[in-house]
Amino acid sequence: MEAQQQSRSVIHRHPERAVPDEAAEILAAGMVAHVGFCGDGQPFVIPMSYHYDPRRPDRLYLHGAREGRLLQLLAAGAPVCIAVTLVDGLVYSRSAFNHSMNYRSVVCFGRAKVIENEADQRTIFEAMTERYFPGRRVGVDYQPATAQQLAATLLVEVAIEEWSAKARRGGPRGPYDADPTAPGTAGVVPLKG
């Protein structure tokens, strides 16, 4: 996404950890989106499920109860910031200061529009179900949503205007971590991102 150059998505701290080419892969692998928005001057961050298809990398989908505050604000065109994180490992060091985490994360900036068309809603919801539950088939493993259920749900497509992706990899980088004779222990506890 060319808007990478705009200031709000430029990584200043550890710019060497920028991994813009991995952004779509991280969004496709993530489970929870932390959705940030402002309402009446108050910032909020709310955890949500989401849908993302790396074949259409500039859009991300959120849904919820039609009367929910978050979806109502997004549907009204409020700017939104969405973070998705994969935690790959816990990094322990011989120095307190150098304990860390291995991670891959993406921060997206965008605005939403409501998906009103019922056929489009079904397509996106079924793809989302497939993303979280690979192999589950509508009409075989579960019944399709009813028209009433779809009507009660607000589905929005967030057009991603800018994004940044950042990753930390590798072991601890404290001053004593490369020395196995130094006191203490050092290493990485791998986690399934």
**Chain residue whose CB lies nearest ligand FAD:** 64
67, burial (CB in 10 Å: exposed 0-12, middle 13-18, buried 19+): exposed
CA distances (Å), 107 to each of 115, 134, 138, in order?
23, 25, 32
- Name the minimum Å distance from CB 33 to ligand FAD: 8
Strands 59-65 and 80-92, how do they pair? unpaired
Q: Are the CB atoms for 189 and 89 separated by under 8 Å?
A: yes
Find the binder of ligand FAD among 30, 64, 110, 172 (CB under 6 A). 64
* Binding flag, residue 63, ligand FAD (CB under 6 A): yes
Site for ligand FAD in 85-114 (CB under 6 A): none
List 48, 83, 150, 167, residue binding ligand FAD (CB under 6 A):
48
14-33 binders of ligand FAD (CB under 6 A): 32
Lookup result for tokens 């808007």: 3
The residue from 46, 78, 83, 188 that contacts ligand FAD (CB under 6 A) is 46
Using rule CB under 6 A, residue 151 touches ligand FAD: no
Please, which residue, 126 or 177, has the CB nearer to ligand FAD?
Answer: 126
Name the β-bridge partners of 164: 107
Region near ligand FAD per CB under 6 A, out of 13-21, 59-67, 96-104, 173-181: 59-67
| CA gap 26, 21 in Å, rounded | 10
Nearest residue to 20 (alpha-carbon basis) of 109, 106, 103: 106
How many CB atoms neighbour CB 14 within 10 A? 10
Binding positions for ligand FAD, rule: CB under 6 A: 32, 44, 46-49, 63-65, 68-70
